[in-house]
Amino acid sequence: MTDALEIAQKLIRCPSVTPEDAGAQVLLDNLLKDAGFTTQHLPFENVPNLFAKVGTGGKHLCFAGHTDVVPPGPEDLWTYGPFIPHIEGDILYGRGASDMKSNVAAFVVAGINFVKKHPDFGGSISYLITGDEEGPADFGTVKVLEWMKDHNHVPDVALVGEPTNPESLGDEVKIGRRGSLSGKLTVKGIQGHVGYPHLADNPVPRMVKMLDALNEYVFDDGNEFFAATNLEVTSVNVDNKADNVIPAEIQARFNIRFNSEWTGETLGTRVKNILNGVSEDYKLELTCGAESFLTQPGEWTELVRSAVSEITGRTPEYTTNGGTSDARFIKDYCPVVEFGLINKTVHQINENTRVSDIVMLTDIYERVLEKYFLNA
């Protein structure tokens, strides 16, 4: 049988900092072709994408993930180097070890092993692999999904292999994600000498009051599956290098992670109303990076959760926390859940994952396939 740990190490050796592929998808392409999958490279703009499928009828399950990684940061701070996979005891180190090359290796190997054992399983298994999840995400999963629809490859269900567990494999299955609304707030004044404030107009106090109003506002209390909406001020800048000058302008940025009580549009309207309660003399630019979504608990979510429980002995909680993922695009086509490795070290120096978890995750993904196609 194909070894997921070996594949994970090979993928880590590919310095595929988004949107570069550096051979990662070629490696997967060769592996899947040898196992009988039909593969298709789907580059859009400068983004590499890979689609692979086996089977032509019956139920269709799609595994989705990405081979791109975030930049490694100062490479001299890495103990073994970001693109030099290293195993120390039960720990595999390397950029992408957790997010998400080991997860990709696990679900690819699970599919290959399943097809070898059950060549007449009577359904279809596909892989949607993008090189743009860590980037703008404009020419990755969203474009491949459009291609899949045009070529009659829309799946019945999907499983995204993002690292979802905070401490132990089996903690959580994600059935949704919060939305993300970013704001750039600008308040203008009149520059002047601090000794003659009557000749100037200081925008800083107005900005402070506006940010305080946003920060103190309680948007909601959350609901059954989502935590309360939260706003975080991420930067404040006056670009003023003098202590005796009243600035002419101040800018602030904030981000709101919101739940299913809001849409980007309704939340943006509420933000403007809050600010208008302080002052109407400002400029606000809002960008909705993602809407919130929820896959209602049902047959698919329970199947994944039961597979996780059978392998790990733990009953995972349904959650929607964390950042955004490409599941936000897939949910428009079919029910989607997310399950993968531990996320404690994602995007960090010395990113790592447990070798034993890679083995167990491969078993979980194969168990999902058995339950979905064989009712086993």
DSSP-assigned letter for residue 73: -
HSE-up of residue 7 (Cα within 13 Å, Cβ side): 29
Helices 24-34 and 101-117: angle between axes, nearest 10 degrees: 10
DSSP string, 105-149: HHHHHHHHHHHHH-TT-SSEEEEEEES-TTTT-SSSHHHHHHHHH
How far is it, in rounded angstroms, from Cα 99 to Cα 291? Answer: 22
Among residues 21, 29, 133, 366, the one annotated as catalytic is: 133
Contact 143, 44 (CB under 8 A): yes
The answer to whether 167 is a known catalytic residue is no
How far is it, in rounded angstroms, from Cα 186 to Cα 282? Answer: 6
Residue 332 phi/psi, 5-degree rounding, is -80, -10
The answer to whether 133 is a known catalytic residue is yes
The pair of three-digit structure tokens given for residue 100, joined into one six-digit string:
């998400």
The pair of three-digit structure tokens given for residue 130, joined into one six-digit string:
């993008």
How far is it, in rounded angstroms, from Cα 295 to Cα 87? Answer: 37
Among residues 68, 134, 172, 338, the one annotated as catalytic is: 68
Give, in degrees to the nearest 5, the angle at Cα 142 between 348 and 60.
Answer: 100
Contacts of 7 (CB under 8 A, 6+ apart): 27, 31, 105, 108, 109
The dihedral sign for the CA sequence 235, 228, 64, 357? positive
The total number of residues written for the chain in this structure? 376
Residue 170 phi/psi, 5-degree rounding, is 110, 5
- Closest Cα to residue 301, out of 274, 349, 337? 337
Q: Which residues are catalytic?
A: 68, 133
